[in-house]
Chains A and B, each alone.
Chain A
């Protein structure tokens, strides 16, 4: 069972680490992608565009290193919930934003089916995150005794 959870942690952590690389390399393009979501006020776009990729990177590495508290996983779960809400909100209001999830390449807006695919992928990631977080909580409880 522990091997199963270890693989889950690696998949979860690695997904976020990989997702952060292009955003860190191209902050201006990622800031544009954040702006495209039309959710944040102007003053928050740069801070979010600069900070978010590093949170993904640091927490992704933290999760992969199998630490004893659910802190990293909790942040990744929270981020995934925010991504799901943002994509769902834009689908609902008919905005076809390029998600900017793994690549900051300036693609034209995605089709609804593609945005739904992104949404389903994020829901899968959320379930994986919750699974890892539950295991983290159990481990931290055991290690505290």
Chain B
């Protein structure tokens, strides 16, 4: 009986707390001039953000690849790279916790334009790798946020194997 009473009181307070939270969240969001849309295409938001930070679109990357004016770096795992990658791309799997990564970067030329990609908009490795590379003195490095998925979607050539 006592347990039941405690449970019902707790459940009531849980509902009140969550109700107030919902009320505040909905209320303030509708009153704010910069309120968030409840339904947002976050992939599109992410793409626009990346492009505003100097990333390039897939068609631009394709143009660079065709004119051989950039070196493509694949930040995905070696396994994903072997399954399919941009022709002539170099595999450099990005692991933010790998402390030997700086040494691996040393193998890349600093004067050429480097285009880093991973899977697609769901994958943040390319953007993070570009940030790390820029911090380590690479000035000519950009990411291709739509990644290998975007590359395959425009039916650009793909190479399989290492």
Contacts and interface: CB of A to CB of B under 8 A. Distances in A.
A111 B96 contact: yes
Contacts of A70: 10
A145 B9 CA distance: 14
A59 B13 contact: no
At the interface, is chain A mostly helix, strand, loop or mixed?
A: helix
Nearest to B49: A32
B28 A24 contact: yes
Given A94-B96, A109-B128, A43 B17 contact: no
Nearest to A143: B6
Given A43-B39, A46-B40, A71-B17, A35 B29 contact: no
A100 B45 CA distance: 18
Interface residues of B, number: 41
A140 to B, nearest CB: 5
Given A27-B29, A96-B96, A108 B128 contact: yes
B88 interface: no
Contact of A45 (B28, B32, B40, B128): B40
Given A62-B17, A71-B14, A71-B17, A47 B28 contact: no
B153 interface: no
A66 interface: no
Contacts of A95: 124
Contact of A141 (B6, B29, B35, B131): B6
Given A50-B36, A54-B25, A74-B14, A144 B6 contact: yes
B5 to A, nearest CB: 6
A68 B10 CA distance: 9
Contacts of B20: 54, 58
A46 B38 contact: yes
Interface in A24-79: 24, 27-28, 31-32, 35-36, 38, 42-43, 45-47, 49-51, 53-55, 57-59, 62, 67-72, 74-75
Given A54-B21, A95-B124, A140 B42 contact: no
Kindly name the residue among A31, A54, A67, A74 whose own CB sees the greatest number of chain B CB atoms within 10 A: A54
A121 interface: no
B159 interface: no
B38 to A, nearest CB: 5
Interface string B1-34: 0100110011101101110111011101100101
Interface in A100-145: 108-109, 111-112, 137, 140-141, 144-145
24 contacts: A24-B28, A28-B34, A31-B36, A35-B45, A35-B46, A36-B124, A42-B43, A46-B36, A49-B36, A50-B25, A54-B21, A54-B28, A55-B17, A57-B24, A71-B10, A71-B11, A72-B17, A74-B10, A75-B18, A94-B96, A96-B97, A112-B97, A137-B6, A141-B2
